[in-house]
Amino acid sequence: MSLHVDLETFQQKYKQKVEDMMIGFVTEKDMPSPIKESMVYSLEAGGKRIRPILLLAVIHGYGKDPQLGMKTAAALEMVHTYSLIHDDLPSMDDDDLRRGKPTNHKVFGEAMAILAGDGLLTHSFQLIAEDTLISSDQKIKLVNLLARCAGPEGMVGGQVADIEGENKRLTVEELESIHIHKTGKLLIFSALAGAIISGASEGELNKLEEFAHHIGLAFQIQDDILDIEGTEELIGKRTGSDETNQKSTYPGLLTMEGAKDKLRFHLDEALASLSGIGMETSMLEEIAHLIVNRNH
């Protein structure tokens, strides 16, 4: 069997399966209807589902059936979804819209949005625990890793550092640390979870962690670049939101040219970390290029 699969085909197939898994899991549970509606609303809000796709692409790259990672991939996307609901709250980023739809608290109120986030976070661990396709040892490794990547040492800590850094001029190191925690850690979970499910060696886990670390930073640099160049191309649109919000950004700290150099550096490092690894890496390379070349 050839492992060369087109990322777009793979993504279309598994994006739908991950969404069905998440929504099916929540829908079949017995709970008060307002919280079920609130949870499903945000789970349906879409996006590229890049995290679960990376997780499943790693499993595919090891020649295993991505189906083995479906529950973990759905759990991961639930954690990402909970973090968006809580980040959008009035006391945090106070966002009214996400991907063109009203944010969760705008539709269901603040209390329900907080509880829906709590519910999704709790369900993510339940989904992994209820998986019947992998061993208890693997499940416990995944629970532990997910907690470390999503919790105060990971994503939640990154959100705290981001709030603390508002309206301050950060150093590049401080900015990088925020992004490593806020965005990078869940991408690291994506890659490592796929490897744990595939039974990869310690050495390969290290290489995949390196890969995810660099694409996470590349992702964020490209975000900052798009916030400026995206708007420059669209006449009549206001100045980039980062500048409006006085956020420290890579172009702001390094100039646009410096930011683009750094973007290329992290892409090169990401690709280099895959060399010599015992798996088919073509889809992972595609994901890295996709992150750097995306225009939205």
- Is 230 among the residues that bind its own copies (CB under 8 A)? no
* Binding segment (CB under 8 A) for its own copies, from list 157-165, 183-191, 192-200, 227-235: 157-165
- Is 232 among the residues that bind its own copies (CB under 8 A)? no
- Is 161 among the residues that bind its own copies (CB under 8 A)? yes
* Binding segment (CB under 8 A) for its own copies, from list 5-13, 160-168, 187-195, 213-221: 160-168
- Is 7 among the residues that bind its own copies (CB under 8 A)? no
- Is 135 among the residues that bind its own copies (CB under 8 A)? yes
- Which stretch of DSSP H or E encloses residue 76? helix 70-87
- In contact, 248 and 15? CB cutoff 8 Å: no
Report the alpha-carbon distance of residue 290 to residue 284 in Å, rounded: 10
- In contact, 233 and 219? CB cutoff 8 Å: no
- In contact, 275 and 253? CB cutoff 8 Å: no
Q: Which of 115, 197, 228, 290 binds its own copies (CB under 8 A)?
A: 115
Report the alpha-carbon distance of residue 282 to residue 284 in Å, rounded: 5
Smaller CB separation from its own copies, 109 or 203: 109
- Is 167 among the residues that bind its own copies (CB under 8 A)? no
Residues in region 27-86 near its own copies by CB under 8 A: 29-32, 34-36, 39, 82, 86
CA of 70: how far to CAs of 124, 160, 294, in Å?
Answer: 12, 30, 26
- Is 3 among the residues that bind its own copies (CB under 8 A)? no
- In contact, 60 and 197? CB cutoff 8 Å: no
Tell me how far, at minimum, the Cβ of 43 lies from its own copies, in Å: 13
Report the alpha-carbon distance of residue 110 to residue 108 in Å, rounded: 7
Q: Residue-wise over 41-72: b if at least 16 C-beta within 10 A, else e?
A: bbbebeeebbbbbbbbbbbbbbebebebbbbb
Footprint of its own copies (CB under 8 A): 26, 29-32, 34-36, 39, 82, 86, 89, 91-92, 109-112, 114-115, 117-119, 121-123, 125-126, 128-130, 135-137, 139-140, 143-144, 146-148, 150-153, 156-157, 159-161, 163-164
